[in-house]
Structure 1
Amino acid sequence: MNSLRFLALWALFLAINMAQAYANWINDIGAEVEKSGNEVDDMGKDLDKIFAQDFFSQN
């Protein structure tokens, strides 16, 4: 019976560790997506500045 209890606790411990690893993995993906989004926003702002300069220099 003690070995069964130990096995159940070990399985619970393993499940908790796997859930934490999965949560960290999802968090890392979210951070990468946010970083990429910020880079795209910065590129868009740069393009807006370039197009605004071109538009005003032609008129």
Structure 2
Amino acid sequence: MDTVNIDFVAIDKNWDKNIADYHFDIYHLSGWIAASAIVDKGKPQGIIAHYKNKKVFLPIII
């Protein structure tokens, strides 16, 4: 059975480097997420789901 691995990571410049090789929009970039976290009074957090050779990047604000 195939498994999905989930990593919780910081939203920072390394996040931007990781998503650079994939299709993304401005809402995935660390600067946008940091600004949104200030407005929403939360902490930015990244979720990366790995399945076989695919990745899903999900930025959230906690």
**Same fold per superposition (TM over 0.5):** no
Bigger RCO of structures 1 and 2 (CA < 8 A, at least 6 apart):
2
More helix by share: 1
TM-score by length of 1: 0.23
Q: Which has the higher strand share?
A: 2
Q: Which has the larger radius of gyration?
A: 1
- TM-score between both structures, scaled by the size of structure 2: 0.22
